[in-house]
Amino acid sequence: MATETRINTETVLEVEDLRTYFRTRWGTVKAVDGISFDLRKGETLGIVGESGCGKSVTMLSLMRLIPTPPGRIVSGKIILDGDDLVQLSENELGKIRGSKIALIIQDPMTSLNPVFTIGDQVEEAIKIHQDIPKRSVMEHALQVLRKVNIPAAESRMKDYPHQMSGGMRQRVVGAIGISCQPKVLIADEPTTSLDVTIQAQYLKLLKDLQKDSDMSLIFITHDFGIVAKMCDRVAVMYAGRIVEHGSVRDIFNNPSHPYTAALLASVPKMDVDVDRLFSIEGQPPPLHNLPVGCSFADRCPVVMDKCREAYPNRSTVSDGHTAACWKLE
């Protein structure tokens, strides 16, 4: 398990009761339903959970990139460097995206434009956000590409995305993300398209870049191995809500929500011989028709009658470790 980084009391990002809903023909989809967390300077926060639990919508909400319609941030605050991003205009947001908060999405082929060269795409963000002479933009772009270990960066500037491997494209996306030295970098499953060897190199690269610039990192992943290696704190999401939140050590050593415990039990253990791997029975509830009580009740091995009657309050397990479960009351 990764050693926890130094504790910095400076809060860079604060999210309060964020709710992002989508209006559909089936009803209102509550993709993000009242989540709150903060992020300190130089810290890495991991967000984990099954597909469809609201992780990516949370990150798109932080960037104010929710397609409207059908989506909309209906309430909450996103405080970044003293500004509430929910209240800002598109022009004001344009000055913040890329410069103070940046996003690396999981598929580089959907974020790189196939008709523009790598150089054009890395330089674009620098031209918009960096107050440097035009003649220095190319040199700055080259420095960023070298920083993410792109070999022969000068010649690669003239290449198009299809001329690069998946790992190289992902590095370019990372280069664009850090080109303006953001305070917060969001990495949405950035290793999904990479093989194991390149994945390890990319994770080390992100850690090194974070250490050099002291930026804060939000890491979305399904992989608890990556969480253990990369993160300081973890937020476990289920059905649009954070059901458990704590340090990596707390989550691994004392998982206090049945969903967290089930996720950890689903990770294969190489030193244990079993006939059948553990899996979580059932499926998450449809987000347009959430139950009155705990959303995990139908899949929970320790469910009680009370769980189906009302959603549990957030309980304190230990200092900095909370979980929303009736069995903790």
Most trustworthy range by pLDDT among 109-123, 234-248, 262-276: 234-248
Per-residue HEC secondary structure of the chain comes to CCCCCCCCCCEEEEEEEEEEEEEECCEEEEEEEEEEEEEECCCEEEEECCCCCCHHHHHHHHCCCCCCCCEEEEEEEEEECCEEHHHCCHHHHHHHECCCEEEECCCHHHHCCCCCCHHHHHHHHHHHHCCCCHHHHHHHHHHHHHHCCCCCHHHHCCCCHHHCCHHHHHHHHHHHHHCCCCCEEEEECCCCCCCHHHHHHHHHHHHHHHHHHCCEEEEECCCHHHHHHHCCEEEEEECCEEEEEEEHHHHHHCCCCHHHHHHHHCCCCCCCCCCCCCCCCCCCCCCCCCCCCCCCHHHCCCCCHHHHCCCCCEEEEECCEEEECHHHC
Which residues, in sequence order, are CB contacts of 155 under 8 Å at separation 6+? none
Side chain identity at residue 25, one-letter code: R
| pLDDT tens per residue across span 143-189 | 989 988 888 999 999 999 999 988 888 889 888 888 888 999 999 88
Instruction: Say how far apart CA 120 and CA 328 lie, in whole Å.
Output: 54
* Spatial CB neighbours of 110, under 8 Å, sequence gap ≥ 6: none
Please write the tens of the pLDDT for every residue from 81-97: 889 999 999 999 988 98
Q: Which among 200, 236, 215, 198 has a CA at the least distance from the CA of 322?
A: 236
Residue type, position 208, single letter: D
- pLDDT score of 5: 47
Sign of the alpha-carbon dihedral angle for 230, 233, 238, 240: negative
Q: How far apart are CA 144 and CA 138, in angstroms?
A: 10
Query: Strand 233-238 relative to strand 44-48: parallel, antiparallel, unpaired?
Result: parallel
Q: What is the pLDDT of residue 8?
A: 60
pLDDT digits (tens, 9 = 90+) for 52-86: 899 999 999 999 999 988 999 999 999 998 899 99
Which tokens belong to 108?
Answer: 């580089």
- Contact in structure between 37 and 235 (CB atoms under 8 Å): yes
At 142 the pLDDT is 93
The per-residue pLDDT for 194 is: 72
